[in-house]
Chains A and B, each alone.
Chain A
Amino acid sequence: MSKVLSLHDAVERHVPDGVGLLAVGGMHLQNNPMALVREAVRQQRRIRRLLTSPCGALNADLLIAAGLVDEIATSYVGFEHLGLAPAFRRAVESGSLRVLECDEAYITHGLGAGAGGLPFAALPVGLEVSDVCRANPESYRLVEDPFTGTQVLAGAPLRPDVALVHASEADVAGNAVLGGAHFLDRVMALAARTVVLQVERVVPTEQISRHPVGTTIPGFLVHAVVEIPGGCHPTASHGHYRTDEEHLRRYLSLAASADGAQAYVDDYVRGTTEAEYLRAQHPAEARHAREELR
């Protein structure tokens, strides 16, 4: 049975309003599933808790700018060399967004625990020295190691209700190829109850099955596949196009104020369809031009 859905239907069916834990894939300014994120904004999906891969960027900041996020579990929200995340900053500094402070090891192993049904993730000795675990007692606890009797740090399993993940290509059954780096996208897909994939293209199963070992997300974990060429814009899509730093700088400069952030959300997301957005901001010619630069 085909899992290919329109962008609208994938979000309407699989991202419930008030979703408990929503994970957004991609890392830094690459492979953010932005078409799915924008559609979640258009459909006004309230998110009780958002989880980033170790490093979120526009995927998190846009949802926060749209006022949809109650809490965020993250080890980084920012725009790397381009600057701090304006909506995240404003929301945390004003006290309107609760942060579950996490570190990269916990997010990675916590997702692993979620994927494997482990009651918790035991974390490497030494991580308990950082203030992260004291800032987030909900996710981190000191426990007795049953083998040595020493106190060690444990992290609660992370089991996203829904993961929004970008892949380079998938077949109609959801068998997916990540085009470049895996980041934590594979681990997110393993741990989440529902996986919605955004892909550059849907390809025939015969093509996918020529490289089964390189097809790192199996379709049995995937609930919906949405084909949106260019859908990671303005972040990069490994194997397809680069980060649109000019657009990101425009976002950063607008979102520096609450009104500007609202204007961005209205003009570039709520007031436009995905097709219109991509036609205006990321036309195929521009994508191809970027590919030729490679």
Chain B
Amino acid sequence: MSAAGRGASDAPGAGVTSGELMAVELARQLRDDDVAVMGTASALPQVACRLAKETHAPDLWFVAGGTCGVNPHLAPAVASCCDEDLLRADTAVPLSDVVLLEGRGDVFTVFFSGGLQIDAHGNCNLVCVGDWGRPSLRGPGTVGLPFLARVGRVLIYTMSHNPRTFVERVDFLGGPGFLDGPASWEAAGLPGGGPAAVVTPLCTMGFDPQTLRMRLETVHRGVTVEQVVDATGFELVVPAAVPVTPDPTEEELTMVRRIDSGGLLKGH
């Protein structure tokens, strides 16, 4: 059933926070044969990877960039990617080795990304708003986002779904998505597969295979298609039918709350 057709969907269940639902949604994107890597401020993907590993993807590997703990045990998840607690892990590798392997390209299959700006083709920008030489807002920098060009699947997440974040074109291309669309994407011949999904507090999006523009896939319970369209600063591809994002199961929710025992995702 189309959420657009019936207005607001049912009330959210069992006090699930956006952060908890997003962790479950990101986990659903992960596969058993993935090797995932994440960076700065990555509590959400940490929880998603741990959840996936304890449910449908037991053979998943994930590396918390910064400390580079491999399969960190979490419970609790931590806010900083460099927190020493991420070394409570199966093993750890030096950051310089992770950077080497990010370049190798056939090791990491999933890279989590985000941005101050995320555009219609999934390009990400953490550098600046406005002209780079004299920005109206200077962000932190690109960190490892240029590597998005080499990774199998990029999973984008943000807690900010608004027209300032979701823009037609990023002011600074830090993390490449599908560039300017099919022609430029094809011409670039990049080794990576491009962005695969975008998860926000309102919805989960993918990409239209023809135009490589962001396409609404599901809206989270309690959110309308109109709300998502209004919160998006570019023309979103909206299919005729937009289902509601499946609710987390009781089991998923219990696991998320155990992994996030410090409640980092509670406030969102």
Chain A residues within CB distance 8 Å of chain B: 27-31, 54-55, 74-78, 80-81, 84-85, 88-89, 92-93, 95, 101-105, 108-109, 112, 123-127, 129-132, 135, 180-184, 186-187, 236, 238-239, 242-243
Contacts and interface: CB of A to CB of B under 8 A. Distances in A.
B40 A28 contact: yes
A28 B140 CA distance: 11
B95 A30 contact: no
A126 B190 contact: yes
B6 to A, nearest CB: 37
A250 to B, nearest CB: 18
Nearest to A109: B99
Contacts of A184: 95-96
Contacts of A101: 127, 132, 141-142
B84 A182 contact: no
Interface string B122-147: 00001100001011111111111111
Given A81-B41, A239-B84, A108 B95 contact: yes
B232 interface: no
**A-B CB proximity, top 5 nearest:** A126-B149, A78-B140, A124-B103, A130-B146, A76-B141
A112 to B, nearest CB: 7
10 contacts: A81-B79, A93-B134, A101-B127, A104-B143, A112-B96, A129-B146, A129-B176, A132-B142, A135-B132, A181-B82
Contact of A187 (B96, B136, B190): B96
A130 B174 contact: yes
Given A81-B43, A132-B174, 8 more contacts: A76-B142, A78-B140, A88-B138, A103-B141, A104-B147, A124-B150, A129-B173, A183-B82
A55 B143 contact: yes
Nearest to B103: A124
Contacts of B224: none
Contacts of A74: 141
Contacts of B100: 108
B40 A76 contact: yes
Contacts of A54: 95, 143-144
Given A76-B40, A81-B80, A108 B146 contact: no
B181 to A, nearest CB: 14
Contact of B138 (A30, A92, A243): A92
Given A89-B138, A105-B144, A181-B67, A130 B84 contact: no
Contacts of B102: 105, 124
Contacts of B139: 78, 84
Interface in B36-83: 40-41, 43, 66-69, 79-83
A28 B66 contact: yes
Interface of B: 40-41, 43, 66-69, 79-84, 86-87, 92, 94-96, 99-100, 102-105, 126-127, 132, 134-147, 149-150, 172-176, 179, 188, 190-192
A183 B95 contact: yes
Contacts of A28: 40, 66, 80-82
Contacts of A239: 84
Contact of B179 (A104, A123, A129, A243): A129
B137 A130 contact: no
Contact of A93 (B137, B142, B174): B137
B230 to A, nearest CB: 26
A186 B69 CA distance: 17
Given A126-B191, A131-B132, A105 B147 contact: yes
Contact of A125 (B92, B174, B191): B191
Contacts of B137: 89, 93
B141 A105 contact: no
B142 A27 contact: no
Contact of A181 (B95, B138, B174): B95
A103 B83 contact: no
Nearest to A111: B96
B175 A130 contact: yes
B23 to A, nearest CB: 15
B137 to A, nearest CB: 7
A30 B174 contact: no
Nearest to A182: B94
Contact of B141 (A77, A129, A182): A77
A236 B99 CA distance: 23
A183 B64 CA distance: 12
A242 B242 CA distance: 45
